[in-house]
Chain A
């Protein structure tokens, strides 16, 4: 395997608030080599977006405490000055956001907005930036690109707007692309087009991609590796094949069970009972234990007392999971698999 382009180790992101310190991400470590896609999966508040904003250095330094390490192409991002961060943002590292309508400035033309991103790092003149913007629009499949440069975001459809966002993110050939739920706000048919586009462009540019999503269908489509997050921590981390076919963490099981079946007999859904814990008031032990149906299988009330380590659980694969269950693969086969549609 190639040397990873992005290496995150022991990342912790917390926000001091009036009610106490909210620790949104804790002990997060992962790496992504060029040409590969890592999907970060988790529900709202699991820390997936917070951790990826940290990759861009987009947290307000006055309101955020970040520790650990984020290395992008060998440069340490944590603690980097705003000045240096700016040279990274939009250049080596770019980001696509969830809602393209609110993420594009309503009062500027898209040619202007894409051109601005290009000029920020290339020092190109307006005319060259405009030409580059038109090229990028063509590259992301927007018909008649030169004519559309002077259009405003509201004159595009949702899918086309997300293409504009992608064109803007890729305008400086970033080596690392962070996509924060880029298809969540789109129609299902458009979703597939955007996923294909991102996959194509990744092939072409050979960049590393961090893809944040809560949709396991999207994960299967696009990711090489998967990191499942819960309450600010990684609970499972491995290759997409392993994790989708045979997850080892009860939370990942819950995610699989919550997917409605599209074929066969209509079966009741199995949502995960309860709610994620408040980041201000984390349960002792495993954060998932209050919602976990397997916690009583572990002796000595260990789940409620001690945070499990993120470690390899079985001899045959290298994937990591954070669970005290002694025999997760057996439990999955005997109890979870029969329940899945």
Chain B
């Protein structure tokens, strides 16, 4: 078990390292001009040279990479235009455009994204799994058919259209206006500002979860061991909610782990449409303004989140399914 986790941990670390290398390579290979981005259109050669020097762009590539990695591990100081900025570990570089260390920018955006994604997850897991299970138990009835049709309909509309419609018609009327205030400043205003985003992202994703859980439950209830459970004479409720649900939720939990990772790094539409400046918006802004350090930081953070959640899913799976425990 410990060996399995160690093995998975090492391979996760390798993936992060490869991403780090690739995102660093982007700095050189991408059709971007980091100096121009900082210096602006009317750049004097002197200013360009100064920026190039302060960014260590004249150093050998390997040395630059070493500096970058050292910054992540131990932090370093950055000089720009005579001023010195201290960038403590994990230092992902400095956004000259925004005049802030990248780490600080990302850490400001992170709680917003996490708040959106976790709150929405509560909504879609509850609605999705409940309706999926009820549909599976009433398979073929009009309830089941309306769930199937409803989820299909909801999934067929592009998400951003749904989100835009919600903002247009509900925000500020029967849903509180969308805004972010930190949880610690008051849970109530935190929750009310996020309600519109939670419900939108939650209900749309609930459609997918209703379908997963319905299919998974139908499959589980057709298994031989469900017949065995019935043959024991235990109550039907126990058959469904203990024996059936236990099997049905295992694949759903796996999908959830991966979805969560995807949403943390890509809740872009939600953040943008509801005006919540999370990780997606920050990274997107960086791409629009050629802010390479922020782009690299966003990509790296995304990959760490993705890999970590994947690892957690794998470890969780060994607890959910005893058959993989020895593998």
Contact = CB atoms under 8 A, between A and B. Distances in A.
B323 A106 contact: yes
A97 B321 contact: no
A117 B225 contact: no
Contact of B233 (A91, A99, A108, A154): A91
Nearest to A86: B233
Interface string A67-89: 00000000000000010001111
Interface string B316-327: 000011110000
A99 B228 CA distance: 11
A257 interface: no
Interface in B302-323: 320-323
A144 to B, nearest CB: 19
Contacts of B184: none
B223 interface: yes
B224 A94 contact: no
Contacts of B250: 107
Interface residues of B, number: 21
A102 B224 CA distance: 6
Interface in B226-243: 227-236, 243
A121 interface: yes
B246 interface: yes
Interface string B243-276: 1001100100000000000000000000000000
Contacts of B320: 107
B323 A154 contact: yes
A120 B233 CA distance: 7
Contacts of A117: 232-234
A116 B234 CA distance: 8
Interface string A138-168: 0000000000000010100000000001001
Given A106-B322, A106-B323, A152-B323, A58 B225 contact: no
Interface residues of A, number: 28
A105 B223 CA distance: 9
A106 B236 contact: no
Contacts of B230: 58, 89
A88 B322 CA distance: 32
The CB with the most chain A CB atoms within 10 A, among B225, B229, B321, is that of B225
A222 to B, nearest CB: 21
The CB with the most chain A CB atoms within 10 A, among B227, B228, B236, B321, is that of B228
Given A116-B234, A120-B233, A103 B228 contact: yes
Contacts of A82: 236
A104 B228 contact: yes
Contacts of B224: 97, 99, 102-103
Contact of A106 (B229, B231, B235, B321): B321
Contacts of A86: 233-235
A56 interface: yes
Contact of A102 (B225, B236, B243, B322): B225
Contacts of B234: 86, 90, 116-117, 120
Contact of B227 (A58, A91, A94, A154): A58
A175 to B, nearest CB: 14
Top 7 nearest A-B pairs by Cβ distance?
A: A90-B233, A89-B233, A102-B224, A90-B232, A117-B232, A105-B225, A152-B322
24 contacts: A58-B227, A86-B233, A89-B230, A89-B231, A89-B232, A89-B233, A94-B231, A95-B231, A97-B228, A99-B224, A102-B223, A103-B225, A103-B227, A105-B225, A105-B229, A105-B243, A106-B247, A106-B321, A108-B246, A117-B232, A152-B322, A152-B323, A154-B322, A168-B232
Interface of B: 223-225, 227-236, 243, 246-247, 250, 320-323
